[in-house]
Copies of this chain bind each other. A is one copy, B any other.
């Protein structure tokens, strides 16, 4: 038997971050991509809409790419597809619901006809170039999630995808632990596993427990409406809200664009079981008594434009909060959203609503495995190599430690970075190099055109605003023909700072006169003189540093 080549595994996103998951698996002339996610911008990425992975490596190896395999339909696993597929149109593979959500997304980008989508289901195996990909049923906070077993010439790679172990799943179909066990017995080359909740001891509770909480809450609300906010994609959660509504003879209205979208897709594809006549239009809320109404809405993260935020701020066109409304936030704030969520809670209380959230009742469970669940998967799969994924550095480190505590050798665990090239062959596994990776910023129609310079300027402008100084000078002798005029924005309230602006104008005049006296005529020198003079003057007067833009016109 001839010596085999190495497999290369290159995470392009999802490491040292929770977001934009994307992993490249390469063997000779074949590349397989797992997931294609986006992430939301960090606070310092001012004005940015979304962030996607850098796919330079894929573009360089375009001809090798056989397809993109999706583990589930969350944005951090499918959100970059429209942008990536525009550059490199390869077939995509996912379960029915996952592709339903992808198609919604492609429709928005007017790409629906031009992409080849392939529905797969658990227990299926497909061939992609040299690879085989077997799909394994997993549990997560969205239905139809799968783990992957990728067959390679060197052995099997198991990728958990995002998962938790739920012994009483809402759809009755448990994560296929048997298959993980079989694979472990047969031998697994490498395991990639979800690290999100590795810092949490014990087990994640079953989704079913939330349904019990709903029943308990619904039972005790007698005369009022119930409004439940959750993630649109958490179809099982939505099912449980519908079940509770049914149990207590309430109708259900759906609110929020993404909630309506996912509800429709999930209903069409048979992932939601909705008794006939139960759904009412949100425009018809007033035709029903309060105690017959449940509203399921977006906005559980306090997103400023979401339906719930608009209700809380009395800016929703179709419904307003009544005193006595019971609002359930069936979600945990994603790190970074704590304050916006709290703001919505406060506004709702202020409107007289009774608000129930995680601090007060068990209205949410995570979709990710805690320590004991992770240990189970590790123990079943018993891989030769382990690569913790889907986590910040702290999570990856802790996940590595967990694997070590189960007996793995440190040398066989790769705590990696995006862009690392993990090379595995018959002799060794190691991080063998790096390639391009990072954040591609999407702002409006621009993909990647906003970089550090633009962001630095936005940050500067956001902190102290700007002052524009315009002066028209004579081409003939350099004398001032008009100006200096001063326009400022975001610096001080101009009407109450006339003195400051007048002084600034005089400072500029003096600086220009000095230049004239010294026969200085280069624009760049004049501009520097204006900038330096003003900078010092304004800092002395205000301890602020607005951006100063000197403009010289010549006539």
Which residue of B is nearest A457, CB measured?
B490
- Among B47, B355, B397, B462, contact of A47 (Cβ-Cβ < 8 Å): B462
Q: How far is the CB of A500 from chain B (nearest CB, A)?
A: 9
C-alpha spacing A491/B311, complex, angstroms: 33
Contacts of A463 in B (CB 8 A): 46-47, 458
**In the complex, are the beta carbons of B445 and A541 less than 8 A apart?**
yes
Q: How far is the CB of A512 from chain B (nearest CB, A)?
A: 15
Q: How many subunits of this chain does the assembly comprise?
A: 2
**In the complex, are the beta carbons of B542 and A492 less than 8 A apart?**
no
Q: Among the listed stretches A21-29, A277-285, A465-473, which one makes contact with chain B, having 4 or more residues with CB under 8 Å of it? A: A465-473
Contacts of A349 in B (CB 8 A): 393-394, 397
Q: How many chain-A residues does the 8 Å CB contact rule pick out?
A: 69
C-alpha spacing A346/B417, complex, angstroms: 12
C-alpha spacing A544/B454, complex, angstroms: 13
Which residue of B is nearest A396, CB measured?
B349
Interface membership of A172, Cβ < 8 A? no
Interface membership of A43, Cβ < 8 A? yes
C-alpha spacing A339/B489, complex, angstroms: 30
User: Interface of chain A, helix or strand or loop or mixed?
Assistant: mixed
Which residue of B is nearest A462, CB measured?
B462
Q: How far is the CB of A37 from chain B (nearest CB, A)?
A: 19
**In the complex, are the beta carbons of A454 and B458 less than 8 A apart?**
no
Which residue of B is nearest A48, CB measured?
B463
- One digit per residue, 1 when the CB lies within 8 angstroms of any chain B CB and 0 when it does not, for chain A 17-54 equals 00000000000000000000000001100110000000
Contacts of A200 in B (CB 8 A): 359
C-alpha spacing A69/B115, complex, angstroms: 70
C-alpha spacing A460/B461, complex, angstroms: 9
- Among B394, B487, B555, contact of A346 (Cβ-Cβ < 8 Å): B394
A462 and B458 contact, Cβ closer than 8 Å, known pairs A338-B336, A339-B336, A485-B551: yes
**In the complex, are the beta carbons of B346 and A553 less than 8 A apart?**
no
C-alpha spacing A483/B466, complex, angstroms: 21
**In the complex, are the beta carbons of A543 and B199 less than 8 A apart?**
no
Contacts of A355 in B (CB 8 A): 394
A454 and B490 contact, Cβ closer than 8 Å, known pairs A199-B359, A444-B542, A444-B544: yes
**In the complex, are the beta carbons of A466 and B466 less than 8 A apart?**
yes
Q: How far is the CB of A498 from chain B (nearest CB, A)?
A: 12
C-alpha spacing A490/B200, complex, angstroms: 41
C-alpha spacing A202/B404, complex, angstroms: 37
**In the complex, are the beta carbons of A459 and B457 less than 8 A apart?**
no
C-alpha spacing A47/B454, complex, angstroms: 18
Q: How far is the CB of A386 from chain B (nearest CB, A)?
A: 18
**In the complex, are the beta carbons of A465 and B461 less than 8 A apart?**
yes
